[in-house]
A and B are shown apart, each in its own frame.
Chain A
Amino acid sequence: MPDQTANNQGATHYNGSPRPVLEVADLHVTFKTEGGLVPAVSGIDFSVAPGKTLAIVGESGSGKSVSSAAVMGLLPPNAEVTGEVLLDGRELIGLSSEELRRIRGNDIALVFQDALSALNPYYSVGWQVAEAYRLHHDVSKKEALKRAVRMLDLVGIPSAEQRAKAYPHEFSGGMRQRVVIAMALVNDPKVLIADEPTTALDVTVQAQIMRLLEDVQAEFGTALVLISHDLGVVAEVADDVLVMYAGRAAERGSVKDLFHRAAHPYSLGLLGAMPRVDLPPRPRLATIPGSPPSPGSITTGCPFQPRCAYAHLVGERCITERPELTPRPGEGYHEAACHLGRRPEVML
């Protein structure tokens, strides 16, 4: 979809959203290891507009977390990153670490899954949030701390002024995740990348955190990239969805396209495999045979072909020719990378 990124003069993008603040095009990530080159991400494109939420969905090894780390410039030196990452029109790939440091945490921030390891056990949480602010603003420690307390209050930490003096171990998992979100938001970033922000949390606390992220977006117009394996969470908060499989985009479109008109057999398989709390049990869950491939094991053809229930309907082509993203019927912008030209029927 090169025309999508080039075509910025159009007032609207997908689903009538304004011009994207983050645009990623043809992103490739390859790890140089002793065993040779391992491709983790092989050419993905996505973009997200202010106030909108893009969910990147995939199973382990799909490259979803590597993609977000690449956008943030957080990959180790043995990772080779190519492609385009435009933040407000500015290219991030190739920037020096000094330049990246000025952008990271300021214009674009990341929330990790594990809040405990994202916080330093030796410093009070107020100090840590203030430090994140002082890195990008020339203010006194006192002023920064005032800002930190305001942020902690905003993310719903009760009696924030006192709690700012407390240390990470004195907080529960949900409260720690709030602190990490406060730290990510303290510089008012344009883009927030949240990598499985609620996976480690209980479902009642997850509901609190997802509501908090929605409130923050509504108030500050932050663009959110949500990385998740939980289709329930995705259905609730995403505007657009990108489904990744083996380092590639399998399908993307609006959240309704994905959940009501899934065009890729893998997306359909994921939906069928998910048990539902709101419906009576099914006699059997639909399954996808086998397990996701390990990175680097794919050679030619469609990476999903060995597990695909529809490959026999297409034949040789799935083994020999790699499918590209092609448009599908939907809310204007809906693409799937599958040789089966029509929407797959549900098979068990």
Chain B
Amino acid sequence: MSTDELLHLKDVKKYFGLRGAPWRKAGAVKAVDGVNFVVRRGETVGLVGESGSGKSTLARVATRLLDPTAGTVEIGGQDVTRVRGRKLRPVRRKIQMVFQDPQASLNPRQSVGTILTTPFRAQGIRPTRAQLVELLRQVGLSEEHLERYPHEFSGGQRQRIGIARALAVKPDLLVCDEPVSALDVSVQAQVLNLLADLRDDLGLSYVLVAHDLAVVRQVANRLAVMYLGTIVEEGPAAEVYSAPAHPYTRALLSAVPVPEPGAKRDRIVLTGDVPTPIDPPSGCPFRTRCYKAEDVCATVRPVLEPVAGGEHRVACYFPESPADLSSPPLSERTP
């Protein structure tokens, strides 16, 4: 176990039980269904996928906010899958979370000073005022904000407070769940730049959970694409963005609109919706919407295999090769 592995998830599963109502058979939502995921020091890993892909659940399992149904969670080289309660506190010094909605994740009845003191107290530390001011300064706020309450701030400032709170215990890894999706474009850019600055200044690593592939491209150096609870492709961000190997990644990237009027793009419009994670398709989870699916795809779920021997890996029987990418897809399918 090398010590630069900040987070290592091994074959993690998270099922949410459905209670059996008379008209509905009991079952489970397979939110995360067998994921291996590693974050090394210095990395910013983008975890992308559509709603229901399990990306937020995976982030919550990784930060030990949710117990996995199966598999192990290692943080800083230590297996913490069964660590609970007070014993989790030292673990939380290594990994912290930033939430999507700063409005909901800050207590409206606490001043910013109190909000920022809480993580110190949880570690048994009494912070000095100077420490709190330093936290605010790191996120672009100042001492005068210490006595104010969350409602006195704009959405972007609230998200800065959420980041400052996560930074209080000096974590190595920050798991950010949709940190900018609730913000206006002009404010979103400020927060993304802040995350990049903090990475450079403090040597932070990130897991950035997001549905917006453009946001992730701006900051991530590694990318993992989730579909129906599994990672279907992962690798160096530059490589995955320029040469996606999984048909789903390719379709997903082609669907993102670009601010360039008249830009000619080979868009793959997928048919249908994401299937239900209660009863996912046999074999490859994407086969029901895939433009390359064949009989073999329904048999056994494909595993992540290296593309051209590199770190870029894809779970697909018929991955796209760079040659395919220069030509338009087999057919543009419309609903």
Interface residues of A, Cβ cutoff 8 Å to B: 59-60, 156, 172-175, 202-208, 210-212, 229-236, 238, 255-256, 259-260, 269-278, 280-282, 284-289, 291-292, 307
Residue from B187, B251, B252, B334 in contact with A291 in the complex, judged by beta carbons closer than 8 Å: B187
CB closest chain-B residue, reference A202:
B50
Task: Choose, from B90-98, B170-178, B257-265, the stretch at the interface.
Answer: B257-265
Q: Which residue of A lies closest to B156 (CB)?
A: A291
Asked if A277 and B213 sit within 8 Å, CB to CB, the answer is yes
Q: Are A284 and B193 in contact (CB under 8 A)?
A: yes
B50 A203 Cβ-Cβ under 8 A = yes
Contact size class for B? 35 or more
Encode contact with A along B265-283: 1 for CB under 8 Å, 0 otherwise.
0010110011000000000
* Least distance between B204 CB and chain A CB atoms (Å): 17
Q: Besides the contacts A202-B211, A288-B190, A292-B186, what 5 more A-B pairs have beta carbons closer than 8 Å?
A: A204-B269, A236-B258, A274-B259, A285-B192, A288-B189
| Contact indicator B193/A204 (Cβ below 8 Å) | no
Contact B270 A204 (CB under 8 A): yes
Knowing A235-B259, A235-B261, A259-B260 are in contact, say whether A275-B184 is a contact too (CB < 8 A): no
Q: List residues of chain B with CB within 8 A of the CB of A203.
A: 50, 211, 213, 252, 255-256
Q: B273 and A285: CB pair below 8 A? A: no
- CB-based contact B269/A232 at 8 Å: no
B37 within 8 A of A: no
Query: Are B217 and A277 touching (Cβ within 8 A)?
Result: yes
Docked pose: A249 CA to B28 CA in angstroms:
51
**Complex Cα spacing A331 to B185, Å:** 27
Pull 26 A–B residue pairs with CB atoms less than 8 Å apart, ordered by A. A59-B185, A202-B211, A202-B274, A203-B50, A203-B211, A203-B213, A204-B269, A229-B184, A232-B257, A260-B261, A270-B185, A273-B186, A273-B188, A274-B259, A277-B253, A277-B258, A278-B260, A281-B217, A285-B193, A287-B193, A288-B186, A288-B190, A291-B154, A291-B156, A291-B157, A291-B187
In the assembled complex, which residues on chain B have CB atoms less than 8 Å from the CB atom of A285? 189, 192-193, 218
Contact in complex: A156, B335 (CB < 8 Å): yes
Whether B215 contacts A275 by the Cβ 8 Å rule is: yes
Which of chain B's residues 166-218 have a Cβ closer than 8 Å to chain A? Answer: 184-190, 192-193, 196, 211-215, 217-218
Residues of chain A contacted by B269 (CB below 8 angstroms): 204, 207-208, 211
Asked if B241 contacts A172 (CB within 8 A), the reply is no
Choice from B184, B196, B214 contacting A59 with Cβ under 8 Å = B184
- Is there a chain A Cβ closer than 8 Å to B51's Cβ? yes
Inter-subunit contact A282/B218 (CB<8 Å): yes
Asked whether, in the complex, the Cβ of B184 is within 8 Å of the Cβ of A271, the reply is no
Output the least CB separation between A214 and chain B (Å): 11
> What 4 pairs between A and B have smallest CB-CB spacing?
A232-B257, A273-B189, A202-B50, A275-B218
Cβ of A286 and Cβ of B217 under 8 Å apart?
no
Contact across chains for B261 and A259 when beta carbons are under 8 A apart: yes
Min CB–CB distance B240 → chain A (angstroms): 12
Other-chain residue from A207, A212, A234, A272 in contact with B255 (beta carbon distance below 8 A)? A207
Q: Considering the chains assembled together, what is the distance between the CA atoms of A162 and B320 in angstroms?
A: 37
B interface list, Cβ under 8 A from A:
50-51, 154-157, 184-190, 192-193, 196, 211-215, 217-219, 238, 241, 251-253, 255-263, 267, 269-270, 273-274, 334-335
**Set of chain B residues within 8 Å of A269, measured between Cβ atoms:** 186
Residues of A within 8 A of B214 (CB): 232, 274-277
Identify the closest chain A residue to B51 (Cβ): A202
Interface contact B193-A291, CB-CB below 8 Å: no
Q: Are B273 and A174 in contact (CB under 8 A)?
A: yes
Determine the distance from Cα of A236 to Cα of B265 in the docked complex, in whole angstroms. Answer: 11
Bound CA span A234–B334, Å: 21
Point out the residue from B185, B241, B251, B335 that lies within 8 Å of A273, measured CB to CB. Answer: B185
Tell me which of A256, A291, A292 contacts B261 (CB under 8 A). Answer: A256
- CA gap between A256 and B260 in the complex, in Å: 8
CA A272 to CA B188, docked complex, whole Å: 12
Distance (whole angstroms) from the CB of A51 to the closest CB of chain B: 17
Question: Taking the nearest CB of chain B, how far is it from the CB of A270, in angstroms?
Answer: 6
- Of all chain A residues, the one with the shortest Cβ separation from B269 is A207
A175 touches B217 (CB 8 A): no
A60 near B261 (CB under 8 angstroms)?
Answer: no
In contact, A207 and B267 (Cβ under 8 angstroms) = yes
Q: Across the interface, do B241 and A276 meet the contact criterion of CB distance under 8 Å?
A: no
Given that A206-B255, A235-B263 are contacting pairs, would A274 and B185 also be in contact in the complex, using a CB cutoff of 8 Å? yes
For the complex, what is the distance from the CA of A60 to the CA of B213, rounded to whole Å? Answer: 22
> Nearest chain A CB to B107's CB is how many angstroms away?
22
Known A-B contacts A236-B257, A275-B217, A276-B258; the reply to A291 vs B50 at CB < 8 A is: no
Q: Which residue of B lies closest to A215 (CB)?
A: B334
B9 CB, min distance to chain A CBs, angstroms: 24
**CB proximity of B135 to chain A, nearest CB, Å:** 21
A208 to B184, CA, bound (A): 24
Question: For the complex, what is the distance from the CA of A274 to the CA of B256, rounded to whole Å?
Answer: 13
User: Is there contact, CB below 8 Å, between B155 and A291?
Assistant: yes
Residues of B within 8 Å of A287, CB to CB, are 186, 189-190, 193
CA–CA, A205 to B157, complex, Å?
32
In the complex, the answer to whether A235 meets B257 with C-beta atoms within 8 Å is: yes
Determine if A276 and B217 form an interchain contact, defined as CB atoms under 8 angstroms apart. yes
Instruction: Tell me how far the C-beta of A44 lies from the nearest C-beta in chain B, rounded to whole angstroms.
Output: 19
B50 adjacent to A233 (CB under 8 Å): no
Which one of B217, B219, B256, B270 lies within 8 Å of A232 (CB-CB)? B256
A210 partner residues in chain B, CB cutoff 8 A = 257
User: In the bound complex, how far is the Cα of B219 from the Cα of A274, in angstroms?
Assistant: 13
| Chain B nearest CB, measured from A157 CB (Å) | 9
**How many Å lie between the Cα of A224 and that of B155 in the bound state?**
31
Find the B residue at minimum CB distance from A212.
Answer: B335
Give every chain A residue within 8 A of B253 (Cβ-Cβ): 277
B144 to chain A, nearest CB (A): 16
The residue on A at minimum CB distance from B49 is A202
